[in-house]
Amino acid sequence: MAELEFRDAVRDALDEELARDEAVVFFGEDVARPGGVFAVTGGLQERHGSMRVFDTPISELAIAGAAFGAAISGLRPVIEIMFGDFLFLAMDSLANQAAKYWFVSREQASVPLVVRSAVGAGGRFGAIHSQMPVPWFQGIPGLKIVAPSTPRDAKALLKAAIRDENPVLFLEHKRLYALKGEPGDDGEVAQLGRANVVRTGSDLTIVSAMKGVHDVLAAAEQLATEGIDAEVVDLRTLRPLDRDTVLESVRRTNRLMVVEEGPRTGGWAGGVLADVTEDALEYLDDAWRLTTADAPIPYSPPLEDAFLPSAESIVASVHEHLNTRPVNSSA
């Protein structure tokens, strides 16, 4: 079976949903004729026409406002905010209008709106093009946050997001666009709010999302050669959080590590730890998180690499907390 590239998975999901439902429209900056700055959306306008796939002026607030208006008028808009860093500019439409409209309308009107955005560091984009915006939106009721790690999940989760009646923030890590993986079943639609156990283990549970899942899996393979059996949970959706899957894993392993690409203060990893310790404290021998520093993301390649969680830093953190040492260590 031919592998599917992450960027193609996103494009295929958009293509199929545009073909399936005439209410779906897609717009944003340079997404139509140029095909997107990350070459994700090429060919969609040619297939579906300029009334349903089109470019917009450079105004994130205008894009989000137009999408909100379209959503409450019967369409199912998907918009692209080119970089997650620019979501601040769309905050009012997303946080004060789209996320609250079902509530303030006395549950009479939904807002089927999807916001796609490229996020994450490691691409040498600098401090204001590399951020992870999850903490900005994590505390907003009414908004869902989806964070896929594989091409298969990117396609199945985006299709689910477009069909959802709520506003959904769909985050695409820039360092995953070239990732190839299994395509999944034709027509597969994932369930939002459902995590996946992507590696079983008995000694500890490591939870992550997006690019972090691949770093954790690499770390788990290294740890396995050293006698430490890690279970890996891919959250896939950060809001709503699949607490049950994480709790079930922790009750088996008795240890929890959460790996987040994002600042320690206000990050989602702290929320996962709080949820688990609240409901499974009696099962826990240890629980901790590995995040980035509370600092802007460096542009310098060596500094950026050191700033981010990696397979190596995950392995080192596990050894520190389990009071073990690497097999090749003489310390």
Tally of domains within the chain: 2
Average pLDDT over residues 105-134: 96
CA–CA dist 256, 41 (Å, integer): 38
60 is catalytic: yes
What pLDDT is recorded for position 325? 81
Q: Using CB atoms within 10 A of its CB, is residue 288 exposed (0-12), middle (13-18) or buried (19+)?
A: middle
Average pLDDT over residues 75-89: 97
129 is catalytic: yes
Q: Is the dihedral of CA 287, 293, 298, 301 positive or negative?
A: negative
For residues 227 and 82, state if they share a domain.
no
For residues 170 and 202, state if they share a domain.
no
Query: Residue 329: pLDDT band by 50, 70, 90 thresholds?
Result: low
In eight-state DSSP terms, residue 222 is H
Q: What percent of the chain has pLDDT over 90?
A: 95
Give me the domain span that covers residue 232. Answer: 196-322
If you search the block for the tokens 């009414």, which residue do you land on? Answer: 142
Find out whether 123 and 84 touch, Cβ atoms under 8 Å. no
Whether residue 331 has pLDDT greater than 90: no
Q: What is the CATH number of the domain that holds 202?
A: 3.40.50.920
CA–CA dist 64, 137 (Å, integer): 15
CA distances to 103, 290, 298 from 135, in Å: 22, 16, 19
Mean of all residue pLDDT scores within the chain: 96
If you search the block for the tokens 């079976």, which residue do you land on? Answer: 1
For residues 263 and 145, state if they share a domain.
no
What pLDDT is recorded for position 185? 87
Considering 132, 150, 181, which residue would you say is the last residue of a domain?
181
If you search the block for the tokens 């989000």, which residue do you land on? Answer: 64
pLDDT digits (tens, 9 = 90+) for 204-246: 999 999 999 999 999 999 999 999 999 999 999 999 999 999 9
For residues 125 and 216, state if they share a domain.
no
**Which entry of 60, 172, 231, 261 is annotated as an active-site residue?**
60
Model confidence pTM above 0.85: yes
**Which entry of 17, 48, 80, 129 is annotated as an active-site residue?**
129
Helix (H) or strand (E) holding 281: none
pLDDT digits (tens, 9 = 90+) for 148-200: 999 999 999 999 999 999 999 999 999 999 999 999 888 899 999 999 999 99
For residues 11 and 128, state if they share a domain.
yes
Q: Does residue 331 fall inside a structural domain?
A: no
What pLDDT is recorded for position 1? 67
